[in-house]
């Protein structure tokens, strides 16, 4: 299945790369945590740095060029991606493989699924690759609340484009190396469309980052 293939690639990445240290979180450029959260939710561009030779990622998260938080990846078989602000956990993401949300329905096939949880381990939402049974459109990414209800926007399978329910482009995702001769350090950016009135939750921008970086990382294994 698609889900198992993606997880297998990620585990292969962990097994064949060398742990590289990261510099740790920088101080946020905002007056308090709530202001930083608001900036991440409303930013025109959210930026993550990456290192394809590192086992676990660690990066400041920039909202329109200003440090607003920190993302740290931990674990091996039980990988977590934790977003914190000034050292305080906002939420974390992990693979979800054996919950009701993973079950196929009469009309949908599910694949790679991330669950999102607050600091008290309460589920706050999901992002899941889905495909319509018998359809020809392929997979797309569905963003859901904690009860599994879809939100009013979705992404293509590659997480490079996000659309509202009427098919209007509301955000784009980009991942690339930092320079032409660079083969290790990269970046991921989620950029909102200037004329869009639809706002993505930062949690879902984080999901775009996870899908984008996972695929990019697997493509550039040594």
Average pLDDT value for residue range 135-157? 96
Average pLDDT value for residue range 80-94? 97
17-21, 63-67, 89-93, range with the lowest pLDDT: 17-21
Asked if pLDDT for residue 19 goes beyond 70, the answer is no
222 band by pLDDT with thresholds 50, 70 and 90: low
pLDDT digit string, tens, across residues 154-209: 999 999 999 999 999 999 999 999 988 888 999 999 999 999 999 999 999 999 99
221 band by pLDDT with thresholds 50, 70 and 90: confident
17 band by pLDDT with thresholds 50, 70 and 90: very low
Model pLDDT, residue 220: 86
What lies within 8 Å, CB to CB, of 146 at 6+ separation is 122, 123, 124, 125, 126
Q: Please tell me the distance from the alpha carbon of residue 173 to that of residue 161, in angstroms, as a whole number.
A: 6
pLDDT digit string, tens, across residues 31-57: 999 999 999 999 999 999 999 999 999
Average pLDDT value for residue range 18-42? 83
4 band by pLDDT with thresholds 50, 70 and 90: low
Average pLDDT value for residue range 91-100? 97
pLDDT digit string, tens, across residues 103-127: 999 999 999 999 999 999 999 999 9
**CA-based nearest residue to 41, from 58, 70, 63, 26:** 63
Residue matched to tokens 């690339």: 176
pLDDT digit string, tens, across residues 123-136: 999 999 999 998 88
Give the alpha-carbon dihedral of 152, 158, 53, 80, to 10 degrees: 30
Confidence (pTM): 0.89
Q: If you average pLDDT over every residue of the chain, what do you get?
A: 91
* Chain-centroid distance, C-alpha 67: 18
Asked if pLDDT for residue 85 goes beyond 80, the answer is yes
Phi, psi values for residue 53, rounded to 5°: -100, 0
């Amino acid at each position: 299945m698609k889900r198992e293939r993606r997880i297998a690639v990620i585990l292969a990445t962990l097994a064949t790369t060398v742990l590289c240290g990261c510099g740790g979180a920088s101080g946020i450029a905002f007056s308090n945590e709530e202001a930083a959260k608001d900036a991440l939710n409303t930013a025109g561009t959210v930026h993550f740095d990456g290192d394809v030779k590192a086992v676990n990622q660690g990066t400041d998260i920039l909202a329109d060029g200003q440090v607003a938080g920190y993302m740290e990846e931990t674990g091996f078989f039980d990988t977590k991606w934790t977003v914190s602000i000034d050292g305080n956990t906002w939420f974390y993401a992990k693979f979800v493989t054996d919950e009701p949300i993973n079950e196929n329905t009469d009309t949908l096939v599910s694949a790679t699924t991330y669950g999102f949880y607050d600091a008290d381990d309460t589920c706050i939402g999901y992002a899941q690759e889905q495909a319509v049974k018998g359809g020809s459109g392929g997979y797309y990414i569905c963003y859901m609340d904690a009860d599994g209800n879809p939100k009013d926007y979705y992404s293509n399978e590659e997480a490079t484009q996000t659309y509202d329910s009427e098919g209007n482009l509301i955000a784009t995702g980009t991942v690339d190396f930092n320079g032409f001769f660079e083969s290790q350090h990269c970046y991921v950016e989620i950029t909102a469309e200037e004329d869009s009135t639809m706002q993505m939750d930062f949690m879902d921008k984080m999901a775009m980052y996870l899908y984008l970086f996972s695929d990019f990382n697997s493509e550039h294994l040594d």
